[in-house]
Amino acid sequence: MTSTIHPPTFRSAVVSARLLPSHFISVLNAYGRSRILDTLTQGLHKGGLIITDEHGTHKFGNTEGTEVVLLRVHNPAFWTRIVVSHDIGVAEAFMQGDFTVSDLKELLNLWLDNRTTLSGLSNLVSSLFAYYSALAIKTFGRQTLGMAKGNVELAYDTSNSFFQCFLSKEMMYSCALWGDAEGGVRGDLDNGSKPGDLEAAQQRKIHSILTKARVKPGDRLLEIGSGWGAMAVAAAKLGCVVDTITLSREQMAMTEQRAAEEGVSDRVNVRVCDYRELPLEFEHAFDAVVASEMVEHVGPRDLPVFFRTLDWALKRDRAAFVITATSQPEHRWSVYQSDDFARHYHWPNSHLPSPLSIPNTIQESVPGKFVLHHLEDHGTHYPRTLREWNRRFTANFEGVVVAELRERHPELRSDTALKAFKRKWQYMFVYAEVGFARAYTNLNCWTFTRPENVSEPCA
């Protein structure tokens, strides 16, 4: 069985290891194939799909059009994975090389276009697993200190050189903001990707957040979730004194190194600690707090604690905080969120807010302490960010990067495992791009301030 650092789902492990009797596996594969082909025949109304497997070629929808998706099945386990795991099964089949496809992005778009008529792909088994995982995440999903540390290690401690192979120079692992200078959110599609575009867009994003936080020279800023130091260093260069916290020692080391290189070590203090472990001297000490794409890791049961912590850390008057997060639109948001590809293979135990759930939770947790000043949706900026990461990953995932991965993670010394790991990331870049491009997923930025804290003199 191959490993992708993140442990596979139990269902995937069983299918990959072929632990069941061969005749039973054959029956499962045949059943899955029959059910999926029947569902596609009846439910694929938009677009066209041609599937080729060992039994022949099968056409669905409008296969005379110009945007037909071609899918070739290499392993009949493909059918079983989808039957028992639905959408996670497609991702796992891609990771394991059970199929290849002419255009992964168009395959995922095809599913979104037809998802209401392809409900037959879900069945009792996959529905029960989804229901159980959603209930477990909601009921038991408290992020203990130990769980939080383990989840960060899985998500961010792969190796610094690995993340450097696809991130921009400052290593912001979050959505960039694209401007006219880079051709906007479609600049790479219309005019091609140019060197320096991603770096410029990430700097725009950093300074946008710091502007919203209203920080000025001499202010004290708390950053929850250091990343690799880009925000902290930028704030320090503006003249702020920054305390930044992370649970990743890899990120701490990089942040301290970058602060030293930029000559701001005296204004950047990096701590390895959880937001629930802040020192007592932090009480009402900060002019602003920023947290970029971190709150998803807090978990629904701990969000009230998180916001009470912000209230405790911020000054009682004229303070602000800015948070950004991937979110679900209101029409499909629920506090019950089942395991999915992103949650299982990239950001363990994460839970997405909705645009309104954040201000509602704040009002319930610390009533009257903050007002919502601004809410933005940066979702249209994420697809290009993901495309840029994917291009860099494809170009740079080799040589020293791979050698270090194999040294640090012995399970990746197998060529099969390394290929699965690489496909996991390629799938994520496209999977997320499609979700944001279709507004199936949002990327919101919330700005909150203490009451009666005007942004500029106006009278």
**Higher per-residue confidence, 149 vs 78:** 78
- Contact between 419 and 97 under an 8 Å Cβ cutoff? The reply is yes
Q: What is the average per-residue pLDDT within 233-254?
A: 96
DSSP result, 177-219: ---GGGTGGGHHHHH---TTHHHHHHHHHHHHHHHHTT--TT-
Helices 415-437, 77-95: axis angle to 10 degrees equals 80
Element (DSSP H or E) covering residue 51: strand 48-53
Give the model's pLDDT for residue 6: 63
Min mean pLDDT across 5-9, 295-299, 307-311, 345-349 is at 5-9
Q: What is the average per-residue pLDDT within 420-448?
A: 97
pLDDT at residue 358 tops 80: yes
For 8-55, what is each residue's pLDDT tens digit? 665 555 566 566 667 778 888 999 999 999 999 999 999 999 999 999
Residue bearing tokens 């260069």: 237
Q: What is the average per-residue pLDDT within 147-163?
A: 78
Q: Buried b vs exposed e over 193-224: b needs ≥16 C-beta within 10 Å?
A: beeebbbbbbbbbbebbbebbbbeeebbbbbb
| pLDDT grade for 155, boundaries at 50, 70 and 90 | low
pLDDT at residue 336 tops 70: yes
Give the model's pLDDT for residue 24: 76
Alpha carbon separation from 309 to 18, 218, 241, 361, 375 (Å, rounded): 48, 23, 19, 13, 21
- Contact between 162 and 401 under an 8 Å Cβ cutoff? The reply is yes
Q: What is the average per-residue pLDDT within 372-390?
A: 98
pLDDT at residue 301 tops 90: no
In sequence order, which ranges of 213-354 are alpha helices (DSSP H)? 230-237, 249-261, 303-313, 341-345
Q: Buried b vs exposed e over 84-107: b needs ≥16 C-beta within 10 Å?
A: bbbbbbbbbbbbbebbebeebbbb
Give the model's pLDDT for residue 14: 58
pLDDT at residue 4 tops 50: no
| pLDDT grade for 7, boundaries at 50, 70 and 90 | low
Q: What is the average per-residue pLDDT within 142-151?
A: 69
- Contact between 374 and 212 under an 8 Å Cβ cutoff? The reply is yes
**Higher per-residue confidence, 422 vs 158:** 422
Give the model's pLDDT for residue 442: 96
pLDDT at residue 67 tops 90: no
Percentage of residues in the chain having pLDDT higher than 90: 73
- In whole angstroms, what is the distance from residue 121 CA to residue 411 CA? 33
| pLDDT grade for 145, boundaries at 50, 70 and 90 | confident
Give the model's pLDDT for residue 151: 67
- In whole angstroms, what is the distance from residue 66 CA to residue 127 CA? 34
Give the model's pLDDT for residue 152: 75
Q: What is the average per-residue pLDDT within 68-84?
A: 93
Give the model's pLDDT for residue 338: 73
Give the model's pLDDT for residue 149: 72
- In whole angstroms, what is the distance from residue 432 CA to residue 390 CA? 11
| pLDDT grade for 119, boundaries at 50, 70 and 90 | confident
Average model confidence (pLDDT) for the chain? 90
Min mean pLDDT across 91-105, 131-145, 366-380, 408-422 is at 131-145
3-state secondary structure of 246: strand
For 177-215, what is each residue's pLDDT tens digit? 999 999 999 999 999 999 999 999 999 999 999 999 999
- In whole angstroms, what is the distance from residue 258 CA to residue 246 CA? 15
Alpha carbon separation from 215 to 319, 414, 450 (Å, rounded): 9, 49, 14
Give the model's pLDDT for residue 154: 67
pLDDT at residue 136 tops 70: no
Percentage of residues in the chain having pLDDT higher than 70: 90
Q: What is the average per-residue pLDDT within 311-329?
A: 96
